[in-house]
Amino acid sequence: MKGSGPLWALGTMSGTSLDGVDAAMVLTDGQAVLDFGPSAYRPYTPVEQATIRAAFGQWPGDPDVAKAAEVVETAHAELLSRFSGADVVGFHGQTLAHDPRGRGTHQCGNGNLLAQVLGLPVVWDFRSNDVAMGGQGAPLAPFYHFALARRIGATAPVAFLNLGGVGNVTWIDPSRDGPDSPGALLAFDTGPANAPINDLMQARSGPAQDAGGAVAAKGTVDQALIDRFLTHPYFYRMPPKSLDRNDFHAALDTSHLGLEDAAATLTAAAAAAVARGAEHFPHPPTRLLVCGGGRHNATLMAALSQRLPYSVAPVEAAALNGDMLEAEAFAFLAIRVLRGLPTSAPGTTGAPAAIGGGKISRPD
């Protein structure tokens, strides 16, 4: 399996927005994306969401982690067992806490257990080595974004924005030799994205999200709150940089606002954070391609278009799958781990050099 030819990899993603588990297959040699295979989605039930949510901010051994891990492992096993033809699985797990300059990073879910259940090699724990080497441990999709930029024929700089629970962006110069070449990539977390909106909706109205941005579209933005939000120290740090899901909880207190105004304000905050982050790009990209659940939020997409001076479009405009792109990324990274290729670099996580990571568990 360590040869140079292409393999079918099955990747997963369970993001901090807690909607569910994505899984997708990619044919790749770890350098180029050669083909896309089937994909599937397994939503979390409200009870499962609550179990995982109770463990947010916790570390291995803390009271609620074992229950959350059981939910994550069960959901992944159920979903991944539907697939056939995979040579390897890339299992991201569920991020519960992220503190790269403190306690590290914590993704719950045991890849060794999944390897036994699925009868396949499982690559997992992608972030810990990067953090141990001095990197942020996030974002990790940029090397895949570089391969996608090449696949779609980009020759000038382009950017990929993922709007999950937290937003992250990758600026790419596809003319460079590879993703670990100096100047090829700049990546970082932009700020809160869907997580505060989802939390608001769940706390005040029941639905887990503001579908299409319909609630936000009826509200009025609290501009004073946005102005205060943009003074947060995070925005003054140079990238690469990364966030925990709840790092902006206090800065985005909308308890004084009605539901519609609160949704409008949190949506505007997500767009404002992206625009502030874009100031760090080495050169303006020709376009910004958006993946993740946030691209379905018409109010958020309109806010991005208003704040940025270049084209903003969902990745479907480039014939890519915005729902599965993060899962595909961990399929791609699994092959790179198997072949000893780097998965992060100074421009993506702030690691001191291009380094690899991940554990490999094989079935007995």
* Mean pLDDT in residue range 219-248: 95
Write down the pLDDT at residue 2: 52
Say what the pTM is. Answer: 0.94
Exposed e or buried b per residue across 242-254, where buried means at least 16 C-beta atoms within 10 angstroms of its C-beta:
bbbbbbbeebbeb
Grade residue 245 by pLDDT with cuts at 50, 70 and 90: confident
The per-residue pLDDT for range 157-215, each reduced to its tens digit, is: 999 999 988 999 999 999 999 999 999 999 999 999 999 999 999 899 877 789 999 99
Which amino acid is present at 64? D
3-state secondary structure of 236: helix
Percent of the chain with pLDDT over 90: 93
pLDDT at 153 exceeding the cut of 60: yes
Residue keyed to tokens 């993703």 = 179
Distance, CA of 245 to CA of 204 (rounded, Å): 19
Q: Are 229 and 251 in contact (CB under 8 A)?
A: yes
Q: List the alpha helices (DSSP H) in 107-193.
A: 111-118, 128-132, 142-151
* Mean pLDDT in residue range 44-65: 96
Q: Which uninterrupted H or E stretch holds 360? A: strand 359-361
Grade residue 99 by pLDDT with cuts at 50, 70 and 90: very high
The per-residue pLDDT for range 276-327, each reduced to its tens digit, is: 999 999 999 999 999 999 999 999 999 999 999 999 999 999 999 999 999 9
If one compares 19 and 79, the residue with the highest pLDDT of the two is 79
Q: Are 310 and 289 in contact (CB under 8 A)?
A: no
Grade residue 110 by pLDDT with cuts at 50, 70 and 90: very high
Percent of the chain with pLDDT over 70: 99
Rg (alpha carbons) of the chain, rounded to whole number: 19
Distance, CA of 100 to CA of 92 (rounded, Å): 17
Write down the pLDDT at residue 79: 98
Closest by CA position to 277, among listed 240, 329, 250, 228: 240
3-state secondary structure of 350: coil
Show Cβ contacts of residue 176 under 8 Å, excluding neighbours closer than 6 positions: 182, 183, 184
Among the listed ranges 78-87, 102-111, 244-253, which one has the minimum average pLDDT value?
Answer: 244-253
If one compares 244 and 160, the residue with the highest pLDDT of the two is 160
**Cis upstream peptide for 139 (omega within 30°):** yes
| List of domains in the chain | 7-137+324-361 (3.30.420.40), 142-318 (3.30.420.40)
Write down the pLDDT at residue 101: 86
pLDDT at 78 exceeding the cut of 90: yes
Grade residue 3 by pLDDT with cuts at 50, 70 and 90: low
Show Cβ contacts of residue 353 under 8 Å, excluding neighbours closer than 6 positions: 345, 346
